[in-house]
Chains A and B, each alone.
Chain A
Amino acid sequence: MPIDRRKMYKFPWSKADNPGAWVEVTDDCDLYCPGCYRHRLEGHRPLEEVKNDILTCKRLTNCSRISISGGEPLIYPHIVEVVDFVSRNHLQPLIFTNGEKLTWELAVELKKAGVSQVFFHVDSGQKRAGWEGKSESDLNQLRQNYADLIWDLGQVQCGFNMTIFRRTLPEVPALMDWARTNIHKVQNISLIAFRGLAVTEDKKYMVNGKEIDASLWKSSSEDEHEISMTSNDIYEIIERYFPGSNPSAYLSGTARPETYKFLIILNLGSPKRIFGTVGAKAVELNEFLFHLRNGRYTAGFKNPKIGRKVFFLSLFDKEIKRAFLRYLGACLRNPVRLFDKIYIQCINIQQPNEMLDGEINLCDGCLNQMVYKGEMIPSCKLDEYRLFGGPIIEIKGDNKKRNANNH
């Protein structure tokens, strides 16, 4: 079913009023994931510098949460202190990790410091020790281990990031199936289409007026087909296996507003059954009321155990109404269902930073902006600044020929 934009809500986020911001504590990592934007250049960052960046982010973006990332943040020696600092500044700390260094003891420490969500990047492209050659379905076992650990910890939300390649696209339904049965334990799943710089004979790039050597860029691909998967492609496969998975909100592209950079499906149900999804009106109401009350936006729901009260929103929201009717039907067939707890789960399909017909197409309202030399930049572009001194621009066809002639 094609996506109907008119039925969705465009998040009202902007650079200056955004629920999210991003800080990186290190560029060291214990894995090497294809699609990673980060190069090992400076190692662990001084704690005071990280704290300054957090305060600048808060001031410039009006954020309500900070994603602590890297590199691998759990190998950063001051990670607990950073989480504590974010929390003390009345911001929600999120950690983006591959999970390799997460032990029960560290998880307890992070919870004590105030961590609100942990996102695990787990996918078969990582080739992590002990899981080599495993399929995405096999990796659900590893995801379950982490989900159980966070569940046992309590009061911390759990999310998973997965980079999607052409070869793993058919495995998305298996991941979705696992996520749906774990709706009580897993609050977020991000399915991120693989992107990289196309390194082909006819592509040339420049920064600040000078041509660059694109092979220095870690995440590059000689296969343009591999880096062209869209949010629509990922959505279609989900919709085929789980009909009625209607997206409710989105972020569009900066150069191509018709692209979906974030496409959000909000499942509503219990571990036994998904009753339906949350619609655009409920998401809009949540954003609008949160902003009116707190003066800033939110990315997500504070309590994923949303309960039956969510069905009151049927008054405004047709999607919730449909879910409510299914819930009533299920309760009539089996009254035990009345005692099931109702949860909300976010499936976030992402089409990241890309070069489309020579133009840089970023997320309009990007949730992951960070401070670099005092300015806010999209975190996915950090290494363009660190390696080359500015954003990479593609040199289009005719001019390449003209430049060659000039030389």
Chain B
Amino acid sequence: MIDRRELYRFPWSKSDNAGGWVEVTDECTLSCPGCYRHKIEGHRAPEVVKQDILACQKVTNCDGMAIAGGEPLIYPHIIEIVEFMSKLKIKPIILSNGEKLTPALAKELKKAGLAKIHLHIDSAQNRPGWEGKTEVELNELRQYYADLLWKTGGIQCGYHVTVFRDTLPYLPEITEWCKKNIHKVQHISFIAFRTLPIADCIEYFVDGRKVDLQGVSYVPRGQNEISITTEEMFERIKNRHIDFEPAAYLNGSTSVETFKYLITVYVGSQKKVYGLLGAKTIELVQVLYHFFKRRYPSFLRSPVAGKKLFFSALFDKQLGRTFRNYVRSCLRNPVHLFSKIYSQSIHLHQPNELLRGQINLCDSCLNMMIYQGKLINSCRLDEYRIFGATVTPVEVVNKG
């Protein structure tokens, strides 16, 4: 049971947010279930992308910005976009499936100022050469990219995994792999699969007009498939990793009690994970960064948190426990004293969903983007592109 009073609710909002989002193309080399994007316009003109970046920075006051798609690494101007963003003092984060990531491209991206790359890897993608592999077997592919970026240096590494009912049992093992790679992997997002349900009891409207989502939206195999919650994912991981405790969250926009983002942060070294950060440390980092830099941090530039982090144990009970574990490890084996201290965040996401008849979005979503001059939720972009506006669900009580 997650006790909300023990967690920190991120202080973000639409106009003062740690993150922003821009898409460079809607073309992709894979076709992942759960993807919101349709192939409609191909590669976007770099000048239009740059204008969107500037507008997004102005409206959201963001610290980091996701460069997404489609697959951004097939976009011919990707280096130019990363460089442009970096010059604006925004931390560029690429969201990629990794297919086109080579050591040479990684070096170029590093030179252009790329701060982080999030690689989407999961078993539903059926990527060539990895068909039929389980999530555990895919850790080998994750390890390959983690090693590639570790060797490149200077680019943080993160993973996205879309979670389905049949892959839910694998979360503890992926978490285990992550913890072992705390020095190489700074982030992992477990994203519960969501899509708008197509059923007789629901009709969808756009601007007063009934629309048909058949052929536009992925049709789930059943309600059970699109109902995995962050709490459920948390319980799965917690069963195996008893130390697993979240520290911060974002709630839902219509159902406030839902956890749309649930964040746990591990602290450790190459040798051992010592424990976790608590809510107070995350709060201190957010507010102090904002007080001095006038914006909230999306993440810190260096994955090496360093031993100075332990000062926060004065306020943070959770970190206090971690510090005691660290001291014990140092006493048992003084080599620990010379190990670098890293932090690694594990995000559980429950994205855009239809809940109790309403669209339940992430309140203070980190992934807002510009569409035709307006700030919108990136998960809803194709509702605008296909239908001209957002879709409103209506529950049909007595059909016919």
Contacts and interface: CB of A to CB of B under 8 A. Distances in A.
Interface of A: 5-6, 10-17, 60-62, 204, 206, 208-209, 211, 251-252, 254-258, 281, 284-285, 288, 291-292, 295, 358, 364-365, 375-376, 393, 395-396, 398-400, 402-403
A402 B59 contact: no
Contacts of A62: 4-5, 9
A257 B15 contact: yes
A16 B362 CA distance: 11
B55 to A, nearest CB: 10
A375 B60 contact: no
B11 interface: yes
B254 interface: yes
Determine chain A's interface SS by DSSP, over half rule: mixed
B118 interface: no
B253 interface: yes
12 contacts: A14-B250, A15-B251, A15-B363, A60-B257, A209-B205, A209-B394, A256-B374, A257-B375, A288-B291, A291-B287, A376-B256, A396-B389
A364 B11 contact: no
B255 interface: yes
Given A14-B251, A257-B59, A396 B207 contact: yes
Contacts of B356: 375
Contact of A364 (B5, B14, B283, B287): B14
In the A-B complex, the 10 residue pairs with the smallest Cβ-Cβ separation, listed nearest first, are A12-B11, A395-B208, A10-B16, A17-B9, A16-B251, A252-B15, A209-B394, A257-B15, A399-B207, A396-B207
B308 interface: no
Given A288-B291, A393-B392, A396-B389, A211 B208 contact: yes
B208 A399 contact: yes
A209 B203 contact: yes
Contact of A14 (B13, B203, B208, B283): B13
Contacts of A255: 374
A317 to B, nearest CB: 11
Contacts of A291: 283, 287
Contacts of A256: 374
Interface in B382-399: 389, 392, 394-395
B253 A10 contact: no
Contact of B59 (A15, A254, A258): A258
> How many B residues touch the partner, as a band?
35 or more
Nearest to A250: B15
B46 to A, nearest CB: 25
Residue of B16, B257, B291 most packed against chain A (CB within 10 A): B16
A281 B208 contact: no
A257 B392 contact: no
Contacts of B206: 399
A281 B291 CA distance: 7
A6 B257 contact: no
A209 B211 CA distance: 11
A258 B394 CA distance: 30
A375 B13 contact: no
A10 B13 contact: yes
A291 B16 CA distance: 18
B96 interface: no
A375 B61 CA distance: 30
Contacts of A288: 287, 291
Nearest to B356: A375
Contacts of B301: none
Interface of B: 4-5, 9-16, 59-61, 203, 205-210, 249-251, 253-257, 280, 283-284, 287, 290-291, 294, 315, 356, 363-364, 374-375, 389, 392, 394-395
Contacts of B250: 14
A206 B208 contact: yes
Contact of B210 (A60, A209, A251): A209
B256 A61 contact: yes
Nearest to A295: B5
Contact of A15 (B253, B280, B294, B389): B253
Contact of A292 (B9, B283, B290, B374): B283
Given A209-B210, A395-B208, A14 B59 contact: no
A254 B5 CA distance: 26
Nearest to B4: A16
Given A10-B61, A17-B9, A281-B291, 8 more contacts: A12-B16, A14-B9, A15-B253, A15-B363, A61-B256, A211-B208, A257-B59, A403-B208
Nearest to B260: A16
A6 B58 CA distance: 10
B170 to A, nearest CB: 30
B283 A252 contact: no
Nearest to A395: B208
Contacts of A393: 208, 392
A14 B13 CA distance: 7
A258 to B, nearest CB: 6
A403 B59 CA distance: 35
A285 B291 CA distance: 8
Contacts of A364: 13-15
Nearest to B5: A295
Contacts of A10: 13, 15-16, 61
Contacts of B254: 375
Contacts of A208: 394-395
Contact of A402 (B14, B209, B251, B374): B209
A14 B260 CA distance: 13
A14 B364 CA distance: 8
Nearest to A373: B356
A245 B279 CA distance: 37
Residue of A15, A61, A399 most packed against chain B (CB within 10 A): A15
A61 B254 CA distance: 13
B294 A257 contact: no
A62 B254 CA distance: 16
A255 B38 CA distance: 24
A376 B15 CA distance: 22
B359 to A, nearest CB: 11
B15 A375 contact: no
A10 B16 CA distance: 7
A358 B384 CA distance: 14
A81 B249 CA distance: 35
Nearest to B249: A16
A16 B256 contact: yes
Given A211-B208, A395-B207, A396-B208, A284 B290 contact: yes
Residue of A60, A208, A257, A399 most packed against chain B (CB within 10 A): A257
A15 B10 CA distance: 11
Contacts of A209: 203, 205, 210, 392, 394
A61 B5 CA distance: 11
A99 to B, nearest CB: 33
Contacts of B205: 206, 209
A17 B13 CA distance: 12
A257 B60 contact: yes
Contact of B208 (A13, A204, A365, A375): A204
